[in-house]
């Protein structure tokens, strides 16, 4: 029997990661023999841990918080265009003795929005939050056909800085982009879809947004996920959003793109989303 290919997810902490189950399910679809482990690296040891994994014959690494920006630096000489735009890397592999990096988060979000039939092509989108999560998905959303994107942040200047930085290297996108603070929400185009790219749901916090934001029949998508609806999802539901989803499908979608980069095969997402969702529900009981 051939030696299985070796993969891992690296982060700190990483015990909660669903990546091993997801990639095992993907591999089963194609009969690929692999191992996939969780690699918990101390904050000052990411580079040594990642390089050591590859030196010992590892094939690919998924990178999660807090190391995505440092993974970007590690693969600096061999970044994909998506990774260069995002300023962060969540997928690493070695080719020709060099570490390569890509960011698949935006592809994962677009894949899930299409799976859910949420507004995208020709739609007006609003992204809440101006951190790395927002930056990582901006390009793929525009490439997928979004007609207009507004980025709002609790601190408006951060949103302005994000858009200004994007326009510096993508000047043709300028007419499609606006930024501001949460207090500017009523002065921006009415969205077809509101995407929460903040970490508010991790703390169970709602955002200071008017209920009227969803009264126009806008959809709501939270990049976070859990066994129960997130605080953002509950907020949108109470305000009358017509369709609401969490980010579990995005998680599986970005993993699917990582799998494609490593294996050259694109796995089916739907059955794996259902599998992980069932595991989450069982864990709650």
- Catalytic residues, by residue number, are 68
Between CA 201 and CA 209 the distance in angstroms is: 14
Report residue 262 as tokens: 């490593």
Q: What is the dihedral of CA 264, 121, 232, 89, to 10 degrees?
A: 30
Between CA 107 and CA 142 the distance in angstroms is: 11
Between CA 194 and CA 152 the distance in angstroms is: 10
Could you identify the residue written with the tokens 């101006």? 130
Among candidate residues 235, 250, 228, the one with its CA nearest the CA of residue 108: 250
Q: Give the ranges where the chain is alpha helix by DSSP (H).
A: 19-30, 46-55, 68-74, 81-86, 105-115, 132-143, 156-169, 212-215, 231-239, 248-263, 270-284
Report residue 24 as tokens: 């095992």
């Amino acid at each position: 029997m051939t030696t299985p290919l070796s993969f891992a997810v690296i982060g700190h902490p990483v015990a909660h990661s669903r990546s091993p189950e997801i990639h095992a399910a993907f591999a089963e679809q194609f009969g690929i023999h692999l191992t996939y482990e969780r690699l918990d690296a101390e904050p000052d040891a990411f580079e040594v841990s990642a390089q050591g994994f590859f030196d010992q014959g590892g094939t690919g690494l998924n990178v999660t918080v807090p190391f995505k920006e440092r993974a970007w630096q590690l693969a600096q000489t061999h970044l994909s265009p998506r990774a260069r735009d995002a300023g962060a890397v969540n997928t690493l592999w070695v080719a020709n003795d060099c570490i390569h990096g890509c960011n698949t988060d935006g592809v994962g979000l677009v894949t899930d929005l299409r799976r859910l039939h949420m507004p995208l092509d020709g739609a007006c989108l609003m992204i809440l939050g101006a951190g790395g999560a927002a930056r990582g998905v901006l390009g793929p959303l525009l490439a997928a056909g979004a007609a207009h994107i507004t980025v709002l942040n609790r601190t408006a200047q951060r949103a302005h800085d994000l858009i200004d930085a994007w326009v510096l290297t993508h000047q043709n996108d300028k007419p499609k982009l606006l930024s501001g603070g949460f207090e500017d929400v009523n002065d921006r185009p009415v969205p077809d879809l509101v995407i929460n790219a903040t970490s508010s749901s991790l703390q169970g916090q709602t955002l200071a947004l008017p209920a009227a934001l969803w009264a126009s029949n806008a959809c709501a998508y939270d990049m976070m996920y859990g066994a129960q609806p997130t605080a953002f999802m509950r907020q949108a539901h109470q305000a009358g959003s017509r369709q609401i989803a969490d980010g579990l499908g995005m998680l599986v979608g970005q993993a699917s793109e990582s799998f494609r980069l490593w294996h050259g095969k694109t796995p089916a997402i739907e059955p794996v989303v259902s599998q992980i969702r069932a595991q989450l529900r069982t864990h709650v009981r």
